[in-house]
Structure 1
Amino acid sequence: MSIKFTAIPTEIADGWRNGGTDAHGQKPEHRISDGGAPCRHCLKNIPEGKGVLLGAYKPFQSIGAFAEIGPIFICEDDCQRFESENGKLPPVIAEREQFLIRGYSADEKIDYRTGQIVKVNELPAHAEQIFALQEVAFIHIRSAAYSCFTARIDRTD
């Protein structure tokens, strides 16, 4: 089985950059990066001194108890959406130590057998174990410290 890392849609990033609103209907907050703000679109750290947009993001289509909304950063300037190559870790993930991962069903419900904090170098192997559960349709990678959405993992076959 192969996996791919999926960044937030370009439509979301472009919408915020062009004056659109976030998941709470508010304009994203403008900040300046300290060099450690992880863009959820290009999946790279936003360089120190560059503009950052901070807003609420909902990585779900459905509504309900599991459809969490939380803060994310994106580059204020246009950036290229991360495209996964053969399961290669995105820079923003590879440069950190650990993440919270959770599997979800096709109807966007958490599979309680899947939630765990994993070391980055073990992430692909854990993702494959989670995908061995037929009920799991996708996996979220979230910050281990703050539980903020980072990226999604999908099967490629």
Structure 2
Amino acid sequence: MAIKFTPIPTTTAESWRNGGTDAHGQKPERRISDGRAPCRHCLKNVPEGDAVLLGAYKPFDAAGAFTETGPIFICEKPCKRFQGGTNEVPPVIAQRDQFLIRGYSADEKIDYRTGQIAKVSDLVSQAEKIFALEDVSFIHVRSAAYSCFTTRIDRAR
């Protein structure tokens, strides 16, 4: 099975850059990157000294008990949305050791059979195992230390 990593929508990144509000109705906070701020749009670390926007993001369509909202960074300057190939691990993931991953159903409920800390070297194979469960519609990749949303994994079409 083939997978693809799906970053946040360009419309979200552009909205934040153009003065729009985050998931809590607040304007994103401007900060300076220490070189390790992971942009959730280009899926690269924002270079040290460059400006980043920090805001609340909800990577779900609906509201409910499982629809977590949390902090994410994006490049303040326009960046190209990650368009990796099949099974291509984005730079921001490849540069770290491990992530929390978990699968969700089409109605955005956590599948409790899927949650785990996965080493980056095992991420693609673990995602393929999770997608073998037919009830799983998508997977979230989250920071292992802070549980912040990093990106989504979908089945490649």
Q: Would you say same fold, with TM above 0.5?
A: yes
- Distance in 1 separating the partners of 2:100 and 2:86: 22
Percent of aligned positions that are identical: 73
Residue type at the aligned position of 1:2: A
Aligned length: 157
Which residue of the partner structure matches residue 74 of structure 1?
Answer: 74
Q: In structure 1, what is the Cα distance between the partners aligned to 2:84 and 2:137?
A: 18
Q: Partner letter of residue 38 of structure 1?
A: P
Q: TM-score, normalised on structure 2?
A: 0.99
> Over residues 12-40 of structure 1, what are the superposed CA-to-partner deviations in whole Å (9 max), with x where a residue is unaligned?
00000000000000000000000000000
Aligned to 1:117: 117
Question: Map of 1:1-157 to 2, 5 A cutoff?
Answer: 1-157=1-157
Please, what is the CA RMSD of the aligned residues? 0.5
- Counterpart Cα distance in 1 of 2:103 and 2:84: 19
Gapped regions of structure 2 (runs ≥ 5):
none
Unaligned runs of 5+ in 1: none
Moved over 2 A (4+): none
Deviations 1:59-102 (A, max 9, x none): 00010000000000000000000012121100000000000000
Question: What TM-score do you get using the length of structure 1 for normalisation?
Answer: 0.99
